[in-house]
Structure 1
Amino acid sequence: MNFMQATRQEQYRNELEKYNVLLRQLEQKRMRLGWLRLGVFVATILITYKVFTTYGAAGFLPAIIGLASLLYLVSIDVVNNAKIRNTRMLIQINEEELRALNHQFGNREEGHHFLPKEHAYAADIDLFGPASIFQWLNRCYTEQGQTLLAQNLLHAQATELVLLRQDALKELTPMLDWRQQAQAFAMQKKITLATENRIQHWAAEEEKHFRHRGWKFVVIAYSFVTLSSAVAAMAGYIPGTIFSGLFLIYLITSVILSRNTVKPYVQLAGIVKEIAALQNFLSWFEKPSFTTPHLQTLQRSIKPELTSASLAIKKLKAILDRFDLRVSIVGVLFFNPFLLWDVRQMMALNRWRKENKTFLPLWFKAIAEVELLHSFSTLHFNEPQWCFPNLVTNDFTIDGTAIGHPLLPDAQRITNDFALKGKAKIDLITGSNMAGKSTFLRSLGVNVVLAQTGAPVCARSFTLSPVQLMSSMRIADNLAENTSTFYAELKKLRTVIEAVKTHEPLFILLDEILRGTNSFDRHKGSAALIQQLIKEDAVAVIATHDVELAQLEERYSSSVENYHFDVEVEGEELYFDYKLKPGVCRSINASLLMKKIGIEMTE
């Protein structure tokens, strides 16, 4: 762990200690409130009994005061419990970040369901799955945020957006407490795509019932009549039998009208907790006065001049909370028969939908983008020595110093400088087994992907022209499709060849191509593929054990360059430095490795 990471570790430990102290205080307060409620309850019973036995009806007064006091203490306890849950989430966040600094992140979402069946590079550079780039980078708790993160890893983003995000990250990174609280709000209840789809589907539907303004007068008049009859019955002006008949009419009327509210209730039922988490998250994002354009634009999208997303979502939650009363005894026997409760909530939902349906997609989009930025800013906070890439618009360029693989711990990560510029450029990398060729290719691939999302990259400096990454590194057979490993690789190489013919900017990474055939055909096919890539002005880095391919540098001196990873052999021990060097590898270690596992090699 380097000095900067040690500093970050100390910061997380300070945060952890702060929240542990706060948690102890809140839990002590909860205990005191519990004893206080018990005391008030016992005192209320004793005093009420004493007053009743002495003064009769006056005993209602201490009973009412005691009940009000209990309700007040319960409300304080509810708020305190919410703070306890929030504090525990903040403790969890800091514990996870301390583990992340030591490259322990196996408890996070793997994102394997985002891995496409076929993709230009995702499987080759471990974008998804256990110990993947997604699992390491992800700080998203909403499905919207996780989906956006996956899409950004799978598809290069526009340069304008990348630059806007870089500026936004520089503003967000120092805001540790704010970022962690936003994360805690997202953790309260996972906001799912199903919930978003449910709300948006309901919002897109045409209002069919209770949309006419006249219904407001009908509800008021109806309630006046029903409540007046109830008061008259209690006062003795209406006989009980007549009122019973009236109540039956009220009940039937409410049931008939409520049938038209069942569908929207079913659509929106059960999402109140997610709505609450959404409201807290949006409210928290509305508070800061951001200075960078991207954050300001996001903030304006959820907080236009006339209203705010958090206030609108709060209103929706209140409507849904009231709507839930329809399934209670009080709702069935009082609120609906006497107040047309369901109709009132349906009218409120219609008003809410009319006012906010056009903003809903913007709110969910903003949530996803904020979570994405939080993931990237956490990376920037944890790895401050990493750089933001410089994106250029000229011919193909990749030029970096101290390029490393982000999934390797600092103590194990060996970095390399690398530059490749222009068209029709092929870098051939030869090297011994386990010397670092494949890891280097993946280091290039991962950093190219990160550079085009807006995130910092694992390098001291990194310049890149916008480019589509393609690779063929990890090939597997497919029994379901009756496809051999060799044929699977041919299919992937065909995709590469078709792509280079479009002459779109491509950066190709190939590892041990045509490994599934004999050495003669492999050499012949590899040489032919390299010549075709040069012909199509393609840019590629190719790792191979076939040192004879290095001779292509003599024939295509302006296009082909040779590099290698070396190994030192001392007795029967191998020593790797994992440093990229110019030229062709001359050391061989396969025979020694085979001998070490027990294969009897003859001279």
Structure 2
Amino acid sequence: MTLRPDQDAGAELAASSEAADPRERARALYRERARERELVVASLERQDARLSRARVACFVAFLILVVAGWQLSLPWLTLGIPVAAFVILLVIHERVLERRDAARRALAHYREGLDRCADRWAGKGATTTDHADPDHPYWADLDLFGEGSVFDLVCRARTRAGEEQLARWLTIHATQRVEPGQIRARQRSVRALIDAVDLREDLAVLGAAARVEVRPEVLIDWGRAPPLFSTKTRRWLPIAALVLPALAVAGVVAWAMGLGVWALLVVLGIEAWVYRSLGDTLARVAGPADRNSHELGVLAAVLARVERERFEDPRLVELRDALRTDDLGAGDAVAGLRRLAGWYEAQRNGLFAPIALVLMWGPNFALAIERWRRRHGPQIVAWIAALGEIEALSSLASHAFENPDDVFPEILDDAEADDPEQGQAILEGCDLGHPLLPRATCVRNDLRLCPPVRAHVISGSNMSGKSTFLRTVGTNVVLALAGAPVRASSLRLTPVRIGATLRVQDSLREGASRFWAELTRLRTVSELADAAPTLFLLDEIFHGTNSHDRRIGAEALLRSLLERGAIGLLTTHDLALAKAAEALAPAATNVHFQDDLRDGELHFDYRMREGVVRKSNALALMRSVGLDV
């Protein structure tokens, strides 16, 4: 390696390390930033300790002055000195604590990134299963949601909108075939965000300040709702909300001057009638803003941060522009709603509540919130959609940044298929590996499904890797169609729908046996193939029936799927099913995984080979656990 004059040995070492492990660039950056954030946290913690001691000192000084003032007849105004100092220190301390907490969240963000680079990510990301549909034809089969899932690995979104958008990209292939141009555009946006490390840190720090629990669909429905005050109410309520508080204050003054309390009581009676006539309308007007002002503040900060980012990718520019309305950005608009919501919530303070009732606090701020909703409500859906898509793209970009040796697949147009009239799909991959497995133990295989060969019947012994290979293919295809990089050295494919039978379960509640549940799932896969080119991943189908029926049924199903342009994989323990591939040749071929018995122990290399497996390990496994066979 030849160094430039401005390079040193450290640069050479870094370059050689990166050559050895492409992820070293991400690790090095994360380590450097984590150290910087650690220093900031330590400094702010020291400031926190000093300010805490100073506040205690101010309080002690106040007590001393109270005693001294009583003993020595000091002017009571001297008490204002420690009180003023305490208030100033309180304000400064709150700001230091906010900065300290933000630095801690940034430190946690980079430590999580280092864990992902070291394959210690399981259970530390988005482990939710809220986006899972029990009837979905592949999410459970491919481990898309839950702890140790694809979503756990990839998702960095901090808002529900971002999570839901990413989940939609991962699961939509059961109901819809995404257009190639749309996927390629998404890939360009992801590439444009790969080096946006500062943006990802800011989104993580802002979003982690408080989980944004304002549900997008609730906020959108609230913004789209028709006027919640009737036309008649909108005429008289603004006048009453201004006049009655003024009259109430005048009544209080009259009462204090000894002119009687009757005027005040009359005004209070009218105000009580107003509150009663409004009923629960005030609560409906406040809607999702009520009791959620802090979450709205976080949402406003996230929106404002995205608005400040300079994008060059056309789609990202379009999404950022969608966050503006007239001359006001979405962040500023939501911040305004947050302030109104905060003032509205103030009426629940126990000490302020009586005054709020007299001043008609609730109706006044409900009217202000309604005016905000009439102006900005219809645009909420565009704001939420834009933010969700940017967060989802940022998640995929973070995954690409941390896994630079993963490749973006080549998305083919239908016209590039060998037989586009029949809508046949193509899937060709080299060195395909499962993205959820540690790289050190991940075994890779090649796959080529395109005319004339469009299906593999995979035979092999137990634990040899058949089902894992199906999940490897399915998971990489899901990531590819979402616009993400994949665990491979190359991958080219046409967009497909996906159906799988790796985790079909019986249902006691619905009274369905596993065989019946499997038949239902296979019908779903067949319907997918009717609608569009489909990738099928069928694992040990029909094993709940006899070998004769299984062979006939599997061959007929495979023939039907291939005739409709589908591609896919079918695994089996039953070597009789290998004849199905022979009957359907050249459209289907036999491949297998095998094992070796050495010194009484089974060894697997998880490599896919051509042809039918010639041996079984079932008896050896039975004996290995002590069964007398």
Asked if Structure 1 and Structure 2 have the same fold, meaning a TM-score greater than 0.5 normalized by the shorter chain, the answer is yes
Q: Deviations over 1:83-119 (max 9, x none)?
A: 2222222222223223223233224443334332222
TM superposition shift of 1:45: 6.7
CA distance in 2, matches of 1:496, 1:568: 35
CA distance in 2, matches of 1:199, 1:467: 32
Indicate whether 1:241 and 2:258 are aligned. yes
Question: Structure 1 residues 300 and 243 mapped into 2: Cα distance closer, same or farther (>3 Å)?
Answer: farther
From 396, 410, 427, the equivalent of 1:390 is 410
From 536, 552, 559, the equivalent of 2:564 is 536
CA distance in 2, matches of 1:362, 1:261: 32
TM superposition shift of 1:308: 0.9
User: Which residue pairs with 1:362 in the alignment?
Assistant: 382
CA distance in 2, matches of 1:72, 1:158: 59
Indicate whether 1:315 and 2:336 are aligned. yes
User: Which residue pairs with 1:29 in the alignment?
Assistant: 47
From 497, 504, 513, the equivalent of 1:468 is 497
User: Which residue pairs with 2:609 in the alignment?
Assistant: 581
TM superposition shift of 1:278: 0.8
User: Which residue pairs with 1:351 in the alignment?
Assistant: 371
User: Which residue pairs with 1:519 in the alignment?
Assistant: 547
Q: Deviations over 1:175-224 (max 9, x none)?
A: 22320220222222222354751574266141416975776666556566
Cα-Cα RMSD:
3.1
Question: Structure 1 residues 311 and 518 mapped into 2: Cα distance closer, same or farther (>3 Å)?
Answer: same
Identity in percent: 28
Q: Deviations over 1:480-501 (max 9, x none)?
A: 233222232222223333443x
State TM-score, norm by structure 1.
0.88
CA distance in 1, matches of 2:584, 2:215: 55
Question: Structure 1 residues 493 and 200 mapped into 2: Cα distance closer, same or farther (>3 Å)?
Answer: closer
SS at the partner of 1:358?
helix
Q: Deviations over 1:537-572 (max 9, x none)?
A: 432222223334444555443312222223233342
SS at the partner of 2:111?
helix
Q: 1:250-261 maps to which residues of 2 (within 5 A)?
A: 250-259=267-276, 260=278
Indicate whether 1:325 and 2:353 are aligned. no
CA distance in 2, matches of 1:291, 1:142: 24
Q: Deviations over 1:322-342 (max 9, x none)?
A: 2223233564444553x4433
Do the aligned residues in 2 keep the contact of 1:52 with 1:59 (CA within 8 Å)? no
> Aligned residue pairs: how many?
592
User: Which residue pairs with 1:86 in the alignment?
Assistant: 102
Question: Structure 1 residues 158 and 26 mapped into 2: Cα distance closer, same or farther (>3 Å)?
Answer: farther
User: Which residue pairs with 1:280 in the alignment?
Assistant: 301
SS at the partner of 1:191?
coil
Do the aligned residues in 1 keep the contact of 2:407 with 2:485 (CA within 8 Å)? yes
Question: Structure 1 residues 327 and 199 mapped into 2: Cα distance closer, same or farther (>3 Å)?
Answer: farther
CA distance in 1, matches of 2:348, 2:566: 66
From 474, 489, 493, the equivalent of 1:445 is 474
Give the residue type in structure 2 aligned to 1:446. T
State TM-score, norm by structure 2.
0.85
From 213, 232, 247, the equivalent of 1:192 is 213
SS at the partner of 2:315?
helix
CA distance in 2, matches of 1:30, 1:377: 36
SS at the partner of 1:417?
strand
Q: Deviations over 1:330-381 (max 9, x none)?
A: 64444553x4433331231122112111111122223322332232122112
Indicate whether 1:492 and 2:513 are aligned. no
CA distance in 1, matches of 2:376, 2:279: 20
CA distance in 1, matches of 2:233, 2:390: 36
Indicate whether 1:70 and 2:91 are aligned. no
Give the residue type in structure 2 aligned to 1:509. L
SS at the partner of 1:162?
helix
Indicate whether 1:138 and 2:169 are aligned. no
TM superposition shift of 1:66: 5.2
CA distance in 1, matches of 2:234, 2:556: 74
SS at the partner of 2:482?
coil
CA distance in 2, matches of 1:297, 1:146: 20
Do the aligned residues in 2 keep the contact of 1:190 with 1:274 (CA within 8 Å)? yes
Question: Structure 1 residues 343 and 535 mapped into 2: Cα distance closer, same or farther (>3 Å)?
Answer: closer
Q: Deviations over 1:209-268 (max 9, x none)?
A: 6975776666556566655676x66xxxx8633264444344334443344385434634
Indicate whether 1:558 and 2:557 are aligned. no
Indicate whether 1:545 and 2:573 are aligned. yes
CA distance in 2, matches of 1:162, 1:261: 50
SS at the partner of 1:578?
coil
User: Which residue pairs with 1:10 in the alignment?
Assistant: 28
Do the aligned residues in 2 keep the contact of 1:402 with 1:416 (CA within 8 Å)? yes
CA distance in 2, matches of 1:239, 1:276: 41
Do the aligned residues in 1 keep the contact of 2:141 with 2:503 (CA within 8 Å)? yes
Give the residue type in structure 1 aligned to 2:463. M
Do the aligned residues in 2 keep the contact of 1:275 with 1:313 (CA within 8 Å)? yes
CA distance in 1, matches of 2:372, 2:527: 51
